[in-house]
Structure 1
Amino acid sequence: MQYLEDFLIELPCSWLNLATASRKENVRELMAISEELAEKYPLYEGFIRNYRVELEATGFNNHRNLLVEYYEKAPASLNRELLVRRNEHGLYSCPFCGNPKKPDTLDHFIPKDQWPEFSIFSNNLVPQCRSCAPIKGENYYSVENGTAKFIHPIYLDLLQRFRFKVTVTFNRETNIPSFSVVLRKLQATEGDEDQRVVFHIKNLKVKQRLIKFCQDDYRRWQTRLSKRRFDLRVALRQRLNETPENDRGIDWKSAFIEGLLNNEDAISYLHSLRPNTMNEPLFPIVEELELE
């Protein structure tokens, strides 16, 4: 879970200009409401920070299809910006949940179908993993709790202040591990900020997903060690060293590795699965061939 302050694009939003400068057949319709749209953008940060205030219904109902179309079927110049934001962000874990996969989709933090005025507003589009996408979907506000359900990683650094801690418990009778997850707070918070982070995590079902990740990754190591003899501690530390020490626990993988390294029973059991000798290459090389 990361703070994406570098993703903030200062106003005025150039993406709207790219859209109105296009040659799409309905561009005149967009131009007719462009000034009204531009007036909404400076209000956006206030909506994010006043997370306890439920957003009023959109005033752009009559233009919903038009505005969503400019995102889903963006003109070439705007589409290039969308692709950069979706694919060339340099992130290797989801800023919303910590899933250790490169985010490859964009989330409309304020949902575009309910508030189409933010369909092509740059700061409303956040890189996200495909596991979070269907869970968050069009969800935004909890009437029951009187608060926005999620934390915007571009405007707020709350998620960055916490780390996941995975504890591995190993049953020596069954040789089956179990995994538990807690959040560690590294920096001070104020008011209800702790509750906001927990609510965000709960609504994205992160705990269940992280435990499932630990179970799957444990099985992967189990399979590798049953086929090849190597020192698991060395391999895990090598993987862990790929993550700066201060960032460990932001993503699921580093949290899992730290947890596994702290359980000697699990490591010993996995080592017991190793074959007695190193596997020989399946197809030994008998000659070298030059490639033209």
Structure 2
Amino acid sequence: MVTKLLPPEEDSVDLVSRIIEERVHYRGFYDGIKQDLISRVKLYKELQGNPESISPINLRSYTNTDEEAAQRKTSLIGLYSPKEDKLPYSQLEHMRKNNGLVVCPSCGEPGRPRTLDHYLPKDIFPEFSVVLLNLTPMCDWCQGEKLAEYITNDGFKRYIHPYFDDVDRPLFSIIFKPPYITPIIDISISNEMPVELQRLVALHLEGVDFLTRFKEFFKTKFRNVLRIARKCREPESIKLREFLQECLEMEAFNSKNSWDVIVYRSILTDEQMMGYLETGELPEHL
């Protein structure tokens, strides 16, 4: 995730315990697995959801046949779709509709995310299907790109975890290649972070197809920047650097890596781009 999130206020261990106590169907199964499920939630929290250290539960250890294990897996996954009068319906609705976000914490795109993503996918880790620490708000596009991915082919963590990873900092910027009137853009990962985090950020951005989507946003955003640059050249107008800095500081309250912040921060730190915007020949029609 490109935005650090506060963990859910409700305790995940307590909620899972209460959800299990509500079960009527397959009572024997849930009685037999309860303590192990609770232990795995505690382990998830201790290991910060790191898939490099957490393996899926073996449901065959709690059932008599492979068919029964498959059925109980479906039951665990089904806990994520409760009826309105059952747990954790209200908790899930709150995370979807009242998360207070104005950008997607996974990619930084403007707009409130209305869906929840299972950081460790529920089809592989059904035991974490209703663990709040495993659920994060996410935009539809990011969720569609991520799907059930969670680890690389060589066994490394694939995505940033919004509750645990140290991402409350500028993670990357955009580099511009001339012609600056219609610049070609690419991603530059910050080298002021630990190498491990740099690698994770690169994997995450690739996994949610960030650059493909950002390029479309940038076309419109940069045209607005060009209009601002022209306006700032008028007598007694605010200087362009000052204006962009104010925009950056205002947007950074939402996220240090929102798409607007990335544009302003990247332009301000690129002296060649700033030189073009301040003194170069701007397009005639904007």
Partner of 2:172: helix, strand, or coil? Answer: strand
Query: 2:189–2:201: 8 Å Cα contact kept in structure 1?
Result: no
Q: What is the root-mean-square deviation of aligned Cα atoms in Å?
A: 3.5
Letter in 1 for 2:76: L
Q: 1:65 aligns with which of 71, 74, 78?
A: 74
Letter in 2 for 1:178: I
Where do residues 139-158 of structure 1 align in structure 2 (5 Å cutoff)? 139-142=149-152, 144-157=153-166
Where do residues 1-292 of structure 1 align in structure 2 (5 Å cutoff)? 1-7=2-8, 9-18=10-19, 20-21=21-22, 27-29=24-26, 32-33=29-30, 35=34, 36-46=36-46, 48=48, 51-53=51-53, 55-56=55-56, 58-59=58-59, 61-76=70-85, 77-142=87-152, 144-157=153-166, 159-171=167-179, 175-187=181-193, 189=194, 192-219=196-223, 231=232, 233=240, 236=244, 239-244=247-252, 248=256, 250-260=257-267, 263=273, 264-266=275-277, 272-273=284-285
Residues 248-270 of structure 1, C-alpha deviations (whole Å, 9 max, x = no match)? 4x112111133345534357665
Residues 236 and 162 (structure 1), Cα distance of their counterparts in 2 relative to 1, 3 Å cut: closer
Partner of 1:242: helix, strand, or coil? Answer: helix
Letter in 1 for 2:93: L
Residues 87-141 of structure 1, C-alpha deviations (whole Å, 9 max, x = no match)? 2222222222222332221111111111211111111111112221011111122
Q: How far 1:152 moved relative to its partner?
A: 1.5
Query: 2:110–2:258: 8 Å Cα contact kept in structure 1?
Result: yes
Residues 140-177 of structure 1, C-alpha deviations (whole Å, 9 max, x = no match)? 222x32212112221222x33442212334426xx422
Query: 1:108–1:119: 8 Å Cα contact kept in structure 2?
Result: yes
Partner of 1:63: helix, strand, or coil? Answer: helix
Query: 2:51–2:157: 8 Å Cα contact kept in structure 1?
Result: yes
Letter in 1 for 2:173: K
CA distance in 2, matches of 1:272, 1:260: 21
Partner of 2:110: helix, strand, or coil? Answer: coil
Query: 2:105–2:162: 8 Å Cα contact kept in structure 1?
Result: yes
TM-score with structure 1 setting the length: 0.72
TM-score with structure 2 setting the length: 0.73
Residues 156 and 241 (structure 1), Cα distance of their counterparts in 2 relative to 1, 3 Å cut: closer
CA distance in 1, matches of 2:232, 2:27: 61
Query: 1:4–1:154: 8 Å Cα contact kept in structure 2?
Result: yes
Q: How far 1:33 moved relative to its partner?
A: 0.8
- Unaligned stretches of 5+ in structure 2? 60-68, 234-239
Q: Which moved more, 1:255-264 or 1:82-91?
A: 255-264
Letter in 2 for 1:273: H
- Unaligned stretches of 5+ in structure 1? 275-292
CA distance in 2, matches of 1:30, 1:182: 53
Using the aligned pairs only, state the percent identity: 22
Residues 255 and 204 (structure 1), Cα distance of their counterparts in 2 relative to 1, 3 Å cut: same
Partner of 1:215: helix, strand, or coil? Answer: helix
CA distance in 2, matches of 1:251, 1:80: 29
CA distance in 2, matches of 1:257, 1:150: 25
